[in-house]
Structure formats: structure tokens, C-alpha cells
Chains A and B, each alone.
Chain A
Amino acid sequence: MIWDWEFAISILPEILRGLGVTLLAVFWGMTIALSLGLVWATARRSTNRLVAWPVACFVEFVRSTPLLVQIFFLFYVLPSLGLTLSPLLAGVVALGIHYSCYTSEVYRAGINAVPRGQWEAARALSFSRWESYRYVILPQAIPPIIPALGNYVIAMFKDAPLLSAITVLEILQRAKIIGNETFRYLEPFTVVGVIFLILSLLSGLLLTRLERRLKLVSA
């Protein structure tokens, strides 16, 4: 047998510790992505072109370039500007910024789907632009897009192993270290793959149920 069950089980605790770091990175990364994305989305709808245009270009640029290079850029370039981030922090910020450019598109679609009449009604009640967003538009725009945002949580989870490139001790990095130390690569990488598969399938199922419930609520 090439596959060694005993070895596979013995490395499980170490790999699960790595999974903890991965999930932590996704949690904070998604927190950044959800807030920044909303900022980009509203900025792109701004009537001031000096705001809308640069943001649109930035979002397009980030979406069109590799996350890995962006991670390197943040990790290696910021110190030369006098801002040194720990590998994990740099990675979290990179994940957050990268995915904010995707969530911003989701927010935009959600906001665009709110009927024009709602803006006009808010205006008629003399809400300011900010108040219109806060009390009228966003409460209607966000619930329908929660499943789409959820998909980006899963996507970010699958991109989080890229942080191993800047030595973050996340799940893949730990598997690699185990492999390098024991010269057994089959078990660690397979275990990591299976963990990803299980968690993705589970969260996918969860998301479908959430989607169904949201549809019921809105129906």
C-alpha cells in the first residue's frame, strides 16, 4: 500500500491547526472585502466623476491581475514605504482588497435592482443621499445578494492557500512542511484536498438552503 492511514491520521492535528489559520484569514479577509466592496460600489455610483472613474479603474485593474502577484506586491513593497506587515496581515489585506473588487460588483447589481421609485420616494421624504442608502436602498438591495456574497466566501476560502507563498502557516503550508520533513507528499496533500472538498460541499449546501429561505421570505 502506498497510502499510509496511520501517517495520514497522525498529521491531521497539525493540518487542522493550519485550517484554523486559513479560516481566520478568510474571516478577516471577508470582513474587509464586504466593507470595502460597499465603499467601491457606492463610490462608483457617485455623480462626481473624479470619484467614480478612478474607483472603476482600480476595481477593473485588481480583478484583471493575479491575486498572487498582489500578495507579493503588498508583502514586499509596503516595507519600502515604511509599513511592515506580518505575513498573515499582508495576506489578509490582499485577500480583502482583491475580493472587495468582486463584492463591489455584487453590491452594484443589488443596488441597481432596487426600483428608481424608491430613490424618488426617499428624496420626497427629504432623506439625504446617505440616509437614502442607509434606510431605504441597502435594506432592500442586500438580502437578495447574500447568496452571491456567500459564493465569494467559498471562493476566498479556496484562494487562501496562496498565503503560503509568503510563509503564512496556513493549511497548505503546513502540508508542505510535513512533506518536506517526512518526504511523504501523498497523504498531506490528499488530506488537504479532502478537507477543502468537504468544507466547500457543506458550505455550498448551506448556501442553497439559505437561498431557498431568502426566496420564501421575499415571496
Chain B
Amino acid sequence: MPPPIDLLPSLMDGLRRTLVIAAGGSVLAIAFALLAGLGCLSRDPIVRTVARVYIEVFRGTSALVQLFWFYFALPILLGLRLDAMLVGVLVLGLNIGAYGAEVVRSAIESVPAGQVQAAAALSMNRWQTMRYIVLPQAILLMLPPFGNLLIELLKSTALVSMITVTDLTRAGLFLRDDTLRTAEVFGMLLLIYFSLSLMITAVMRGLERWLSHGQDYGGRQ
């Protein structure tokens, strides 16, 4: 294989791990975002406080510091060693989920108050209003910022290389040590990450089109 394509096979294992972490982290992030975003709007002050504290802590500290804390410090508190991959998925999910919670909250708040009043006038309770009236409208608003967050998450997966996970970035560092083809290796890494970001963008665009199909608020004739 001509250079720098010949470098690719040695990066495949790392790429696979990066993809697993990105996928797992995304699922967790979406779950945490919905939970905490809805939690912020709860009528229960305890739920609201818990959601708020989670969001502030994970948005207020550095993702890398969070990774180090969960990988090096938390095991001391728990008395057990945590798998680095698992820590990576968990921390990235928690971190991006905290940002996503704000997206969820503001999307829900931007659904007009009249919609909630109309649902109340039809005797729907809070849960039914949320499930059938507010969320379906809010989700369309959430998609573009969520797409950006998923790209942020993909980029953040590179940080797990610093807690010993041999992801794409760490595989690249090893390959550079082996081959000394520094510019090619790092250029290759950047290109791979860039392609993955483009794929996320494409998927999110498709999802947007699919979800807004038939409910074009501007009036599809």
C-alpha cells in the first residue's frame, strides 16, 4: 500500500475502540441529557436541585479532569479498580449529557405556553402533555445542537488516550514511536476524525429531515 495509506491497518484496532466509546458515550449522554433536562423542570425541588448540581458540576469542570478523577481518585473511594474503557464511556456520557441537559431544557421551554394550556384544557395531565404535546415539538429543536454535541463527544474521545485506553489517538502515538513518520501519522489521525465528524453531521441532517417530514410548520402544500 502506498504511504500514508499503509499506516491504516495499524490504526484499525484503535479506531474500533474510539467508535465503541463514542457510541456508548452518545447513548449515555442522550439519556443523561433527557433525565437532567426534564429534572430541571420538575415540580419536586429535590429533583430540580439534583439535576442542577449534576449539570453545574459536569459543565463547570474540565472533561479531562473528570476522566482523571474517575480513573485515579474514584477507585480509592470505592475500593475497586475501574476499567479505563468503562470510565471513558461513563465520563464522556456524563460530561456531554450535562451540556445536553441545557439543550433539552431550553428546547422544552421554547415550546409556546399556549400548547401546554391547550393540553390542560383537554384534561391532559403533566406527563401526557410532556409525552404527546411538548416533547414531539421540542425534539426537532434539539436536533441541531445535539448534532454539535455529538461531534464534541467524538472529539473528546481522544482524551481517553490519557487514561491508558488505546483508542485511535493512542494507537497513533504508538505508531509514531514505531515508524517515526510523525506528520503522516498525525495527519492521518486528523483526517479520520474529520471523516467521522462529517458522518455525524450527515446522519443528523438525515434524521432532521426524517423527523420533520410531514410536519413542516411552514406549511407543506
**A: which residues have CB within 8 A of B?**
2, 61, 63-70, 72-73, 76-77, 80, 157-162, 164-165, 172, 175-176, 179, 185-186, 189-190, 192-193, 196-197, 200-201, 204
Are A179 and B72 in contact (CB-based, < 8 A)?
A: yes
Interface of A is mostly: helix
* B121 vs chain A, min Cβ distance (A): 35
Complex CA gap A69/B167 in Å reads 12
Given contacts A68-B169, A73-B186, A172-B62, 15 further A-B pairs with CB under 8 A are A68-B162, A69-B169, A69-B190, A72-B186, A80-B182, A159-B64, A165-B162, A172-B65, A185-B72, A185-B73, A189-B65, A190-B69, A193-B61, A200-B61, A201-B60
* A84 vs chain B, min Cβ distance (A): 13
* A15 vs chain B, min Cβ distance (A): 12
Choice from B57, B68, B158 contacting A176 with Cβ under 8 Å: B68
Complex CA gap A204/B156 in Å reads 22
Interface of B is mostly: helix
- List of A residues within 8 angstroms of B56 by Cβ: 197, 201
Which of A61, A65, A165, A200 has the largest number of chain B CB atoms within 10 A?
Answer: A65
Complex CA gap A159/B66 in Å reads 12
27 examples of A-B residue contacts, CB within 8 angstroms: A63-B151, A64-B197, A65-B190, A66-B155, A66-B158, A69-B190, A69-B193, A73-B186, A73-B187, A73-B190, A76-B176, A77-B182, A158-B63, A172-B62, A172-B64, A179-B72, A189-B65, A189-B68, A189-B72, A189-B73, A190-B69, A193-B66, A196-B61, A196-B65, A197-B57, A197-B60, A200-B59
Choice from B69, B157, B161, B189 contacting A189 with Cβ under 8 Å: B69
Complex CA gap A65/B173 in Å reads 16
- List of A residues within 8 angstroms of B162 by Cβ: 68, 164-165
Are A69 and B60 in contact (CB-based, < 8 A)?
A: no
